[in-house]
Structures are given as C-alpha cells and as structure tokens.
Structure 1
Amino acid sequence: MPHGTVAVLATDATFDRAAVLAALAMSDTEEAHLDIHCIGRCHGPSAGAEALAAEALAADGLAAGPIAPAGRPDDRAALARAEALEAALRPVIPRHRRNIAFHPQALRGGSAGAQLASTIRFADWIVAAAPLDPQDRRLQIAGLKAGLLMGGVPVMLVPREGAETAHAPARIAVAWDGSRGALAAVRAALPLLRRAGLVDVIVVDPDIRHGDRSDPGGDLALFLARNGARVEINVLARSRPRIPEVLFRHCCDTAAEAMVMGACGHARPGRALFGTTSRGMLRLSKIPLILSR
C-alpha cells in the first residue's frame, strides 16, 4: 500500500528528466505513489514572439506572475503538447513499477500558479529540477510557487545533471537559522534524516539576537535526536563573503548527499519565492536541496 504521493510538474522532457529520475527513487524508497503531471500550455494563434517573451524570467530569476498568452487559447494543441511530453518521459519509467500515473494537462491562460496549485494540492512532496540555469522558464517557477507558497508542500530540487538521494545516505546537511521554513523542511525530511548515517546541523555566524549563541543549534539537535537521528552540530564563521558559499564549501568538504533548508527564512507574503541564501545554494549546489516555507 503506497504511503503518500510524490508529484512532478513536467514541462520539458530534457529539463525535467533529472526530476523524474529523482522522484522515481524517492517514491520507491518511501513506498509512495508517483504522479507525473505533464503540462502543455495554451498559446493563442497569434502568440508568436509575445508568448516567447512571456517565458523570460524577471531580473532575479524567481518571479512568477500571471502567464497570459496572446490571442485565443488552443486547448487541443496544449493537450497534444502534454501528451507528447508524456510519450517522451514514459521510457524513463521501469516497466515493473505500478505505483506511477501520468496526467497530461492543458494549462489555460491566466494565473498559472493557481491552476498548478489545484493540480498538486494533495501531494506530499514535489520533486523538480533546480530552476537557476540557462533553461529557466516562468512556468516551472510558477509550479514551485504553487507548491511552496499556495500548497505548503515541501520541495526537493535536484541539479540539472541529476542526483538521487540514497535510501540511507551517509550524511545529510541541515542549514539551520531558526526560521519557520527551516524547521518545516526538517519536519518534512524526518524519514530521510532518521535513515541517514549522520545529520550535520550547520549554523553560520549565529546571531546573538536569537538568544541561543551559547548553544546554537542545540534545540534542533535535541529534537532530531529524540526523533531517532544521529546528529552533529557545526558552527561556522562567515569565512567567505556570502553564506551560500560557506554552506557549499562545507558540503563539498564533508561529502554531504543532500541539504535541508528553508526556502526563505523571514519572507513576507508577496516577496521573492526564494531568499538570498536558498537562491545562492540553487546556483552553487550539485546535491539535492530539500526546501519548505
């Protein structure tokens, strides 16, 4: 009997292949159902350059506003694109797997985020390709926004070249800043953290205003230990100009297999989808990032 649902919002066979492979591994490990939503976007007959321009990201690469095509939307063409995407991804799926379903879907003009939020509202996890590379697209960012902001669903972002998390990884890193998002990500990742050989709680340049400077990360370590995880705390000085660079170097030096962190530590509604630290890690990291808000 499957335990929960892992979802992939696929919009491109090449771009999303790594996400599908990682989702296959996660659904197998967690004995979960896997839903692969193949999205085809409606374009009007005269969309042309305007539709292509709408795909460009905002300056920070993370905005995801309404995606409005020009002209009258063509549902049949969009559904055909979704079905072609399903046909391209099906060969990735092992024939023996029975806990997987494809869902081709035509996405009409308007607010992509609201439509995608309805699609994944009952998912337990979203697995997606990390968005910050030359193939960034607004539709993929809209899917992440739907999961993280509208649905409150934790997300595993995998690098473009792919990276699957082992059933019992040797070392998992947790970037801890005391935020609600970081704690939500830890709670979501507890099954993986319990199986890890070591959970490395990383605190960079702890702030005395948080009131736990004498024991930074101690409360989280106790929480994890009581949940069956083997924990180590590493308090790091900001030896590099930016915190993501400190985290990235530490993960490389310690051979961490994934990192758990908040998507945005102290964001208010309407702010950017990712914070400065998580955005920096998306640009640098070669390991999966487990994010929540």
Structure 2
Amino acid sequence: MNSSSSSHADIAGDLSAETLTLSYGRTPVVQNASLRLRPGLVTALIGPNGSGKSTVLRALARLHRIDAGRVQIGGEDTTALSAREFARTVTMLSQSRPHPSGLAIRDVVAHGRHPHRGRFAGLTDTDREAIDRALGLTGLTLMADRPVDELSGGELQRVWLATSLAQDTGVLLLDEPTNHLDLRYQVETLDLVRDLADRGTALGVVLHDLNQAATVADQVVLMHNGQVRATGAPEQVLTSEHLSQAYGLTIDTSHDTTSGCVRIAPRGRHHARGRKPLLTLSA
C-alpha cells in the first residue's frame, strides 16, 4: 500500500470497550469494564497500582486476550480488521518496549510508517513528511541522526512517542507517556496530547499523576480492583469520596475559584499533628 492513499485512519469513530473481562492465566484482573474513547477528546485512566488500567489499554490495542465482552471502532468489531487495517487505525505506546540498537533516531521513528507501506516498498514523500512531523512534535529534529544507543531513558521515551505519532492513526493509546521524562518534557508531552485531541484524535492515556489527569483530560475513568468505579468529567470523578475509596486513604479535594483548578491533598500520618499535607497536587 502506498502511504499517499491515506494520512489518517481508514476507519473513523469511537473506540469502545463493552463489559470486558480480562485475565492473566486463570486469575481475572478486570471485570465488566466499559469505556469509550471519542475523537477530539482525551480520556485519562487513573487508579491505584494493579487496578487494571494498563490491561484495559492493552485489550483496546488487541495486545491482551479478551475473555468476555468486545471492543469496537466505528461500530465495527476490531477482531474483524486485519492486523494492517488495525495498525492504520489504532496506535499504542506501551510501557514495555524493546531497546533498539544500532539504529539512528530517524530510523526508529520510520518504523511507525510500516502499516502504510508495502512489504518491500521504500519511503514515500508522505512517509518522510510524517516522520519529520513526528520528530518536530517531540523535539527530536536536531538529534534525528544520533544513535539510539546513546540516549537517556527520557530521550528514548520521546523516540517511541515519535514512532507512534508517525503511524498517524485516528486513535492513540498512551500508557504513562510522561514516565522517565523531566518536568519540561512532561509538560510538553501533555501539551502535545491536548493538541492531538484538538486535531480530532481520540486519546486514551493511563496516568498516575492526578494533577496531569485533571489538567489534560476531558473525561476521567477511575479504576479500582479491576472495575470501573467512576467515569465523567474531571470535576465529577476527582472527588474526595471517589479518590479516598479507590486509593485507601483520606484525600481532600477543593476547587480553586481563581484558577478554576481542582486541588488534591492526600492526608498522611502526620496530617493530624497540624502539619501540612505530605503532597498537594494542583490541576
């Protein structure tokens, strides 16, 4: 297939999961989970470690077997799509990725164009434009010829993000995309996520930082013990009641009338002694 035939997903629409049950071996880890990713919106999946967030994301990406339930895109079951068709529609940046060796950054990013090319076809002008755009969006243009073996963990994280962007799909799934990044690139990555949504991409993002979720998300999905406990706008889900129950400690939330921000303050053991909360997250 020539990449010039389409620069976006061949299949458009919501990516939705309905009543998913997912397991590792014989151990169920997600039960009856439903959610919907819509074009132009950022959906943040939050919850304690082991709550099933990443497993659900992998199921949406066809990387985890579904025991029960279904995943659809544009009203069509994703199992009906070929691997190439699906890869032109949905991209996932996971936490576990191979460490490339002996390649330059640009060569790694070029792998994102594989679903748009024939088996033996070279790069087209459209492919090169997509690669250059992905490098520019992730701040890698000036270092595109550097060997990936020389990169830090944060730099390599940006390379994989650029590879996902080069794939140029209508749905982008990101599992902790700010992991290993310093503060500057965390902010720039979240800005990029917001920009992509504003261009019409449907984004599903697993985040541990509640501040980041409140800042970037249009919709928040709170998971706990393998179940979806709450879904809605950040101000509806990031409440003291929901968060305290899910995380197993007292979490105070308030609304900053000046900035319009949600403020989240978990209470540690020393809070009762009149000290300040151990952590205050403002969004």
Provide the TM-score with structure 1 as the length reference: 0.29
Provide the TM-score with structure 2 as the length reference: 0.29
Larger relative contact order (C-alpha < 8 A, sep ≥ 6)?
2
